[in-house]
Structure 1
């Protein structure tokens, strides 16, 4: 069976260290992840079970400015926001165990897909982390598509590795889990149906909001002009709290 699940969410930030400290003050733990040498980008990671947030910025401007939009769309977008000193959500990554199958299905559906790439970075312990990935170079009414990633291991094994590395842990604010992403778009019916087709799900409407289920979580599409991911919602917090990082809003219930 082909797995498709929500792997992580990207936030474009100007400074990793400053963002890590910002979240630490709010009770949410992020740790430096490492550098993507081929792209000139670097990241910090905050885990909520196997699902996580990636804070991404640029460490090598010359390399980063060479990224081709149609090859690595989300990374290209991260570089553009870095150049403009803009903090906001980028897009989400979808985890699969069969990149070739998913990519072929999307290509047959007329969606512009990039090549499958071999990703790598070295973490703070100098361990090489590898994955396979492809990006989608289309958008829907200006909303960036997600991209697909394969860690080449089972979810169970990967979760155990992350626990052993002390990356999955309870945050000071609570045992957090990501439960929902909210996208503000001009045409939520159209976009939700497109995203549902993308991940082989069915979109439903609830009180004017269009919902696409994905594993234990949901993607919600609401009417508005942003054409972007605007908020991420969590369960398990010790108290209700909303954190705003630039244009990105994180809601803890």
Structure 2
């Protein structure tokens, strides 16, 4: 079973972005270092889904990591290190089988490979990563993660550490992520491979077509513009990619534009 795991927000200084989000009522905590990649992070959890704020702390190691195709680091480098929402990860429990399935589907596959991160308190957290892609893909595909510990164990540990906790702005949940895409070919292929439900929708007023992929409690909303409209304007200014993340369950409606990313908080329905 596949679940949405986390959304990556590349920033220059994760600790400063953490402070900005905290000031707006979002619970964010220090993460730790990815020594192999020359990066470090801060984290904001919404139960078992989270937003990861990643920055560079070792230029040499990062440049080396960015040479591997389809990785997060390659994405950030190819995008001229533009801050913002970059990629997302899907959680799996069958990463070895996934690797073979994606190869058979004609995708390029790198991994799975095991990694660890050292937390600020010196403890180690481990996981496996699998990157996929295709030279003709029109969008960057998700990557896959399998944690060393089961979700139930991780939830308990993260709660005890105060990493999973109530947000000052309310009982926030990561509700949806919006993407601007040129077509739905890659979206529909990945949804099929991940056995995810996919809904079709159109908005004649906004000249847009949608594909909505359901991954657990998180909706991935892909928008293809067929004429002038909101998504068209975004595409002209930013190109294709992630437009925004939507958080539900807030104490108020609020929009945050922070370090290249847009977060929309929706008030809880009573």
**Bigger-Rg structure (1/2):** 2
Root mean square deviation of aligned Cα: 1.7
Matches within 5 A, 1:152-171: 152-171=148-167
Query: Higher mean Cα deviation, 64-73 or 211-220?
Result: 64-73
Residue 100, structure 1, aligned to residue 101, structure 2: no
- Of the three residues 61, 64, 81, the one matched with 2:62 is 64
Q: Distance in 2 between matches of 1:13 and 1:212?
A: 27
Tell me if the contact between 2:138 and 2:182 (Cα under 8 Å) persists in the aligned partners.
no
Matches within 5 A, 1:100-249: 100-138=96-134, 141-187=137-183, 189-207=184-202, 208-223=209-224, 224=232, 225=235, 226-249=239-262
Query: Higher mean Cα deviation, 130-139 or 91-100?
Result: 130-139
Residue 38, structure 1, aligned to residue 39, structure 2: no
Tell me if the contact between 1:107 and 1:113 (Cα under 8 Å) persists in the aligned partners.
yes
Residues 51, 63 of structure 1: alpha-carbon distance in 2 compared, 3 angstrom cutoff: same
* Deviation, structure 1 residue 204: 1.9
Q: TM-score, normalised by structure 2?
A: 0.86
**Deviation readout 1:162-200 (Å, 9 max, x if unpaired):** 10111011111111100111110111x324312312312
How many pairs align? 248
Unaligned runs of 5+ in 2: 203-208, 225-231
Q: Distance in 2 between matches of 1:197 and 1:59?
A: 37
Residues 140, 42 of structure 1: alpha-carbon distance in 2 compared, 3 angstrom cutoff: farther
Residues 178, 165 of structure 1: alpha-carbon distance in 2 compared, 3 angstrom cutoff: same
Q: TM-score, normalised by structure 1?
A: 0.92
Q: Distance in 1 between matches of 2:191 and 2:81?
A: 32
* Deviation, structure 1 residue 136: 1.5
Residue 26, structure 1, aligned to residue 19, structure 2: no
Runs of 4+ in 1 over 4 A off after TM superposition: none
Residues 183, 104 of structure 1: alpha-carbon distance in 2 compared, 3 angstrom cutoff: same
